[in-house]
A and B are shown apart, each in its own frame.
Chain A
Amino acid sequence: MDAWKADVAIVGAGGAGLRAAIAAAESDPSLKIALVSKVYPMRSHTVAAEGGSAGVVQAHDSLEHHFHDTVAGGDWLCEQDVVEDFVARCTEEMVQLEHWGCPWSRKEDGHINVRAFGGMKIERTWFAADKTGFHMLHTLFQTSIKYPSIRRFDEHFCLDLIVEDGRVQGVVVVDIASRRFTLIQANAVILATGGAGRVFRENTNGGIVTGDGMALAYRHGVPLRDMEFVQYHPTCMPGTGLLFTEACRGEGGFLLNRDGYRYLQDYGLGPAEPTPRNKAMELGPRDRLSQAFWYEQQKGRTIDGPHGPVVHLDLRHLGEAKLRERLPQIYELAEEFLGVDPAKTPIPVRPAVHYTMGGILVDGRCAAPLPGLYAAGECSSVGIHGANRLGSNSLAELCVFGKTAGAEAAAFAKSVAHGPADVLLKQAAASQQRALELVTNASGTERIATLRKEMAQSMEDGCGIYREARSMQATCDKLAELRERYRRVRVEDTSSVWNTDWLLAIELGYQLEVAQAMAWSALERRESRGAHQRLDGFGERDDANFLRHSLAYHAGADAPRIGYGDVKITGSPPGTRAYGAAGERAEQERAALPGRTGEANRG
């Protein structure tokens, strides 16, 4: 076991982890920062984000609009004080990225351009063609190279947090290439490990999105908040689940059913107009659009494809030139993966799991209830997404809260002293032993892929776009069975060089526990809100009983214990969540209310 003494250790080097590392380095150049990633940073899944990142810039837009879009989009399950802070800081972070070189798309006059996005009242989505996440990630990664105090541990896999004396004091990592273990002793640890979408069968996520940080925090007693809220993105490639960005619709794309009909007008999103109108039709929020697909499927108005029913994403009227300029990656994906020329033929799409709204419970400073532990990005639940995230809020979140986490962790790290290394090393050795037991357990019989496939299918069956108690309970039961079988998991590969079989087994252990938190939180939420929709008599939002965050607590080998926490309301009392013409009426009524709050400080 090697040991390395850091002040701040960051696990995950995607957008949030890199932004945190830079913030920590800038806050005090004398701090030693360890940046751990199980891949090279530029492979992190931020790379796959396409459409853009939010930040108010237009004169007729306001922070209040962004705040209200976000809170209503989240079906009022947001921490409103945190949303206020978020919307106030997005634009500065986007400008910061611009100064660091991000190739934002521009207007003729040289100012950055913005595009429309689902659920956003005014265009405020900064974009770099349709490779925004790629460019943000590479900009952050390459910029991070400027800071000598950031020591990278590339292709190091995190096995455990070290908790001693009531606070986090480091992490245990293993070098994938050599299986050398290292205790990184640190006074503050930031988890920035991304989401957990791979626990579902059809998803947009990269193979690395396995909920590692969520599981690590959860196992150490930190609750996972709002885990039942899993976002289905409405326009994904059938079979693989690969993403066709919401910007396709922001640029004017239509969704058509088997009759060539823009079916969204039947689901409270109309009227259908020939050009995109913000917060209407194809620019409605993702939860509503995925739910509309489900109904179209029930009505037999979808189109049968080799990977199940689809609808059509029609971009033909935008013309090849515009598609090549604004959506070049989408163009290539359609051509190469589907053999479809989107300027000539509609693209077959269906919803797939995309994003984990919930995550590690943290406050507005990104601090978890466990002292010394911080989290940022998709692995965290800082409270801005509520029951449904708006597109382009997550890339902004990586920057805004990555920065917060880095600065806060740095400050905390300076306020405490390093604990005795021998005690921590003993713990680390125990973690190493537990991890290695997976390899030495020669009597294993359960194939990793079998367990993973059964888990992913069960999550789709029980925790999909629409849910009911019976199927959710079946998923909970299945996950308990899989955890029991996981004790006999078989790792075929016993070598110490690049043993990915072993890592897959560890990741599966993380996934099963995170999946349990999702399924049990879903079963216990007896209402419908945002991305959590029930068919079994709980079809309405129930603010009296469930305007509360769920909190899943790890309970060893048993199912999680589900508790609840308050929702912070500042300027926006829960109201009717409506889009299209109905949304505009609701907004006018809201504006006419006497004593409307929350305006002044967000203007």
Chain B
Amino acid sequence: MAETTGNGKVVRIEVLRYRPEQDEEPFLQGYDVPFTDDMSVLQGLQYIKDWLDGTLSFRWSCRMAICGSCGMMIDGEPRLACKTFLRDFPAGTVRVEALAHFPIERDLVIRMDDFLAKLERIKPYIIPKEARTLAQGEYLQTPAELDVYEQFSSCINCLLCYAACPQYGLNPEFVGPGIMALLHRYNADSRDGAAAERMEIAGSEAGVFNCTAVGYCSEVCPKHVDPANAVNQNKTRAAGDYFLRFITPKGGAR
């Protein structure tokens, strides 16, 4: 029957279940899973799905912390299931729930269309400062110029920072840390010339001033993107823009 795994060690994985067609509200369901020290929480969930309960639903794909699919609350913290290891729960129990602050679609699957809609709004593409044909070759960009935005381009859209952000929890209109990092990624790119358009979003009611500088978003980021830093840089800039608009004819955005 079930595949043999492990060396006699068993972890109890408690999963927050919710199937909208049959469950009034979410509830915890426990599964005993044999494991080895190199097994991730994701592999534990796969074991459940394969051998114990085929009705458990969760997103996953790459298994190596780059596709961003398997974000979930693990013992109350937003984490990627693929790079959280079962060996790190010495009490022998681990609780797994859908990411905080998002509607649950089913079990560990959350609705993420809010994030996509916000991503689409910030114009997440290069709007060139100067036109260049392909025949002219690449834009020149020094390693130092690359360094200014590279970390912000490393966002894998896993949404852990949204689950960590208390302000997003209170006000889902807030564009939130991940999108701010991506907005900053394009604004800080030496090839781009559309910072002014994007700063309208950054400085808007849904923008950076919602952030209360808790910094938990950067702590949970699995890719060291440091969205809090992006938010901060844009607070300074948005504040500058705000005051400049009174003294310059076209407003302060550059």
Contact = CB atoms under 8 A, between A and B. Distances in A.
Given A103-B153, A110-B140, A145-B124, A333 B19 contact: no
Interface string A167-202: 000000000010000000000000000000000000
A98 B157 contact: no
Nearest to B20: A497
Interface in B84-124: 105-107, 109, 111-112, 116, 119-120, 123-124
Interface stretch (B54-62, B213-221, B234-242): B54-62
A101 interface: yes
B55 A492 contact: yes
Contacts of A111: 138, 140
A131 to B, nearest CB: 7
A206 B63 contact: yes
B196 interface: no
A99 B142 contact: no
Contact of A42 (B53, B68, B111, B186): B68
Interface string B141-165: 1110110011001101100000000
A602 to B, nearest CB: 19
A406 B16 CA distance: 43
Nearest to A491: B54
A336 B62 contact: no
A495 B23 CA distance: 12
Nearest to A333: B64
A453 to B, nearest CB: 7
B153 to A, nearest CB: 5
B134 A96 contact: yes
Nearest to A206: B61
A542 B109 CA distance: 52
Given A95-B134, A496-B21, A131 B128 contact: no
Contacts of B55: 492-493, 495, 501
A483 to B, nearest CB: 20
A542 B68 CA distance: 45
A99 B139 contact: yes
Nearest to B107: A498
Contact of A92 (B36, B132, B134): B134
Given A43-B67, A336-B83, A493-B54, A108 B124 contact: no
A113 B140 CA distance: 11
B60 A112 contact: no
B69 A101 contact: no
Interface string B41-56: 0000000011101110
B153 A239 contact: no
Contacts of B50: 447-449
* Max count, chain B CB within 10 A of own CB: residue among A48, A207, A453: A207
Contact of A39 (B22, B61, B105): B61
B137 interface: yes
A145 B21 contact: no
B186 A239 contact: no
B140 A240 contact: no
B226 interface: no
Contacts of B149: 103
Interface string A106-125: 11111110000000000000
A498 B57 contact: yes
A92 B133 CA distance: 10
A177 B140 contact: no
B54 A142 contact: no
Contacts of A449: 3, 49-51
B125 A498 contact: no
A101 B140 contact: no
Contacts of B65: 332-333, 336
Given A40-B112, A145-B119, A242 B3 contact: no
Nearest to A496: B21
Interface string B169-210: 000000000000010001001011000000000000000000
Contact of B21 (A239, A333, A497): A497
Contacts of A426: none
Nearest to A140: B125
Interface string A339-378: 0000000000000000000000000000000000000000
A329 interface: yes
A447 B106 CA distance: 22
B216 to A, nearest CB: 21
B159 to A, nearest CB: 11
Contacts of A135: 153
A135 B155 CA distance: 10
A330 to B, nearest CB: 10
A111 B142 CA distance: 7
Contacts of B105: 177, 497-498
A207 B38 contact: no
Given A42-B67, A338-B38, 18 more contacts: A47-B62, A47-B67, A48-B67, A98-B138, A99-B128, A99-B191, A101-B126, A101-B186, A106-B141, A106-B142, A109-B142, A145-B119, A146-B123, A206-B61, A207-B63, A336-B83, A337-B83, A500-B58
Interface pairs A-B: 4 shortest CB-CB: A110-B140, A449-B50, A492-B54, A206-B61
Interface of A: 39-40, 42-45, 47-48, 92, 95-96, 98-101, 103-112, 131, 134-135, 138, 142-143, 145-146, 154, 177, 206-208, 239-240, 242-243, 306, 329, 332-333, 336-338, 447-449, 453, 491-493, 495-501
24 contacts: A39-B67, A43-B61, A43-B68, A47-B66, A99-B139, A101-B186, A103-B149, A105-B143, A109-B142, A142-B119, A145-B124, A146-B123, A146-B125, A177-B105, A206-B61, A206-B67, A306-B36, A338-B38, A448-B50, A448-B54, A491-B54, A493-B54, A493-B57, A495-B106
